[in-house]
Amino acid sequence: MASEITYAEVKFKNASLPAVAEVPPETKKHEHHPQKCPPWLPWLISLLLLLVCIALIIVLLALQRPWGPDASSAQSGDEPTALQQQFLEWQCISVVAQGKGRGWMCCPKGWKRFGKSCYYISDDMMGRNESAKNCTGMGSHLVVINTEAEQVFLTSQLEVSRGKNYYIGLRSQVVGQWQWVDQTPYNESAAFWREGEPSNVSVEMCVVIHTTPSIHNWNDFRCESSYRICEAAAVTV
C-alpha cells in the first residue's frame, strides 16, 4: 500500500528575514600625493640665481680692474684720453709698474717727460687765455707745479740765455689770491717767486716762469703775449 504524503501549509506571522551580516569595508590604503610647491618658489630660485651671477660678474670685474694711483692711466688702452686722441706719434720708455709686469710710459713726440707727466714747451707766443685754450685743445692744461723736483726739471728745460717768459697755470681773480687751473690749493711754502715778487698789483694777475738759472723764477705778469708750458698725465700701455 502506497504511503500518502501529507502537505501542511505553515505561515509565520511578523517574521523577518534573517539579518544580513554587514562585512566591514576594507580599510582604504592611503594614497601618497606629492605636495605641490608654492607658485612663487620658481621665481624665487630664478631671482637667487640671477643675484649670484651678478655678484660673480662684479667680482671678476673688480679683479681685472687696476687699483691705485696708476689706475686711470692703465686703462687708457680701453678708453683713449683726450691727449691720445690728439696725437699719432709717441715716445715711450719701458717701465715696470709694481704688480703689473712690464709696460710702457708714453708722451706725445716732442713733449718732455718727468715722473708721470708730459710737458709741452711752446715755441710760439699767445695771450694768457689763448694759451690756456691751446693747452686744453691738446688734452692738457697749463702746468701745475707741485714739487721742487718738478720746478727744477722745468727750469732745466728752458732756454735760459734768451730770457723768455712761459705761462704756468697760476693766476688770480683778486689781487694776491692765487689759484691753480686744476683747483690744487695754492701753497705759499711751495711757491718759487723771484726775489721781490709777486708785486701784487691789479695789472699783473697772471704768472710766468722767467728763464733764469735759479729755480726761484716765478713772476706775476700782465697777461700779455708769452710762451707757455702745458702738462698732461703720461699714458701707460
In a domain, 228, yes or no: yes
Q: Are 148 and 218 in contact (CB under 8 A)?
A: no
Could you give the CA distance from residue 220 to residue 177 in angstroms, rounded to a whole number?
A: 12
Tell me the CA end-to-end span of the chain in Å, nearest whole number. Answer: 144
In a domain, 213, yes or no: yes
pLDDT band at 33 (very low <50, low <70, confident <90, very high): low
Q: How does pLDDT run across 143-191, given as a tens digit for each residue?
A: 999 999 999 999 999 977 678 999 999 999 999 999 999 999 999 989 9
102: domain CATH number is 3.10.100.10
In a domain, 35, yes or no: no
What confidence score (pLDDT) does residue 63 get?
Answer: 56
Average pLDDT, the chain: 81
In a domain, 134, yes or no: yes
In a domain, 227, yes or no: yes
Q: Is the pLDDT of residue 31 over 70?
A: no
- Going through the chain in order, the beta strands assigned E by DSSP cover 90-97, 101-108, 112-114, 117-121, 141-142, 165-174, 177-180, 206-210, 218-221, 227-233, 235-236
Q: Is the pLDDT of residue 2 over 90?
A: no
In a domain, 163, yes or no: yes
Place of cell 534573517: 18
In a domain, 88, yes or no: yes
Higher pLDDT, 8 or 30: 30
Could you give the CA distance from residue 190 to residue 180 in angstroms, rounded to a whole number?
A: 13
Q: Is 194 helix (H, G, I), strand (E, B) or coil?
A: coil
Q: Is the pLDDT of residue 232 over 80?
A: yes
What confidence score (pLDDT) does residue 220 get?
Answer: 96
Could you give the CA distance from residue 232 to residue 223 in angstroms, rounded to a whole number?
A: 22
In a domain, 50, yes or no: no
Q: Nearest 5°: phi and psi at 73? A: -75, -30
Number of domains present in the structure of the chain = 1
Q: Are 227 and 166 in contact (CB under 8 A)?
A: yes
Per the structure, the complete domain to which residue 128 belongs is given by 71-236
Q: How does pLDDT run across 36-85, given as a tens digit for each residue?
A: 677 777 888 888 888 988 988 887 765 554 333 333 333 444 577 889 88
Q: How does pLDDT run across 131-143, given as a tens digit for each residue?
A: 999 999 999 999 9
What confidence score (pLDDT) does residue 221 get?
Answer: 94
Could you give the CA distance from residue 230 to residue 226 in angstroms, rounded to a whole number?
A: 13
